Amino acid sequence: VILVKNNTMKNLVLAICLVVGGVLSGFSQARFLGAGTIEYERRINVHRQMEQENPEEQSDFWKEFMSKQPKFQNSYFNLSFNKDKGLYQPGREPDKKLEPWLLGPAKENIVLTDFTTKQLISRRKVFEENFIVTDSLDRLEWKISAETREIAGFECRKAVAVISDSVYVVAFYTDEIPVSGGPESFGGLPGMILGLAVPRLYTTWFATKVEITEAPAAAFKINERGKKIAGSQVAKILQSTFTDWGKRGEKFVWWSLL
């Protein structure tokens, strides 16, 4: 026990305690963030996608069309989460919009995840048809590396997985948010995914902000009107639909597996 008699010393000790207490409080809050809302910016390199789909297209009409399209298309999605559930859905409107046919079938995805059962239900619109897809949160085999980077103020570790046999997915997750979720239907890691990249789709998702605002329990629901299918059926159904679409059809199938 230390007895402090001098007023100046008392004030100094008090100030130190307040500073240390504030630091520890802030650290604890970030370290154990179990509920909140994350905004993700999805960024698509439209020009690279179109070049891949149409490698031989060199007409003046095509060049003029591409010159009028922004190189990148940004859109925003929100993930509300707590320790039990997560809801991923479209967020605020982007500043610039592209022709709808350029965006692929994932622009309106809504995903409801149950972290306790490790099951998810997603609502996906492909053209004019709505699919209600059920799948497992642990459907991917992640390989975690020692590489780290900071995203939205959180230290994140790199992990890699593969979808559709050959399409690599790179994720950065943080154990400072001990919830096994992320953008789209990705999860299954020892913390929240704040950064995601699918190089063959020329697309990334990165958290722009993390807010400590817990959504009410009633918010975690999804409209289940649509054609109900299992996650394992999605690729088969869409592959038959896009048989004659070439590389663009192949890309649409990959989008459906996100």
Distances (CA, A) of 237 to 140, 164, 230, 250: 20, 14, 11, 12
Q: What is the pLDDT of residues 121-179, one digit of tens each?
A: 999 887 778 889 999 988 899 999 999 999 999 999 999 999 888 899 999 999 999 99
Model pTM above 0.85? no
Lowest pLDDT segment from 5-19, 31-45, 141-155: 5-19
Q: Which residues contact residue 187 at a Cβ distance below 8 angstroms, ignoring those fewer than 6 apart?
A: 86, 113, 115, 120, 137, 180, 181, 193
Range among 5-14, 59-68, 235-244 rated most confident: 59-68
Q: Which residues contact residue 71 at a Cβ distance below 8 angstroms, ignoring those fewer than 6 apart?
A: 45, 46, 47
pLDDT of residue 99: 62
Band the pLDDT of 108: cuts 50, 70, 90.
confident
Three-state DSSP at 233 gives helix
- How far is Cα 165 from Cα 141, in angstroms, rounded to an integer? 12
* pLDDT over 70 (residue 192): yes
pLDDT of residue 51: 78
How far from chain centre, in Å, is Cα 173? 11
What is the average pLDDT value for the chain, to the nearest integer? 82
- How far is Cα 163 from Cα 236, in angstroms, rounded to an integer? 14
Three-state DSSP at 3 gives coil
Maximum pairwise Cα distance, the chain:
86
Pairing of strands 154-163, 167-174: antiparallel
* Count of CA atoms in the C-beta half-sphere (13 A) of 33: 24
Amino acid at 30: A
Which is higher by pLDDT, 246 or 162?
Answer: 162
Distances (CA, A) of 82 to 36, 150, 175, 195: 7, 22, 14, 19
pLDDT average, residue stretch 73-80: 93
pLDDT of residue 15: 47
pLDDT of residue 98: 62
As a whole number of Å, the end-to-end CA separation of the chain is: 59
Amino acid at 242: F
Band the pLDDT of 28: cuts 50, 70, 90.
very low
Range among 15-19, 138-142, 187-191 rated most confident: 187-191
Three-state DSSP at 190 gives coil
* Count of CA atoms in the C-beta half-sphere (13 A) of 180: 19
Range among 20-29, 46-55, 85-94, 153-162 rated most confident: 153-162
All structural domains of the chain: 36-256 (2.50.20)
How far from chain centre, in Å, is Cα 229? 22
Band the pLDDT of 21: cuts 50, 70, 90.
very low
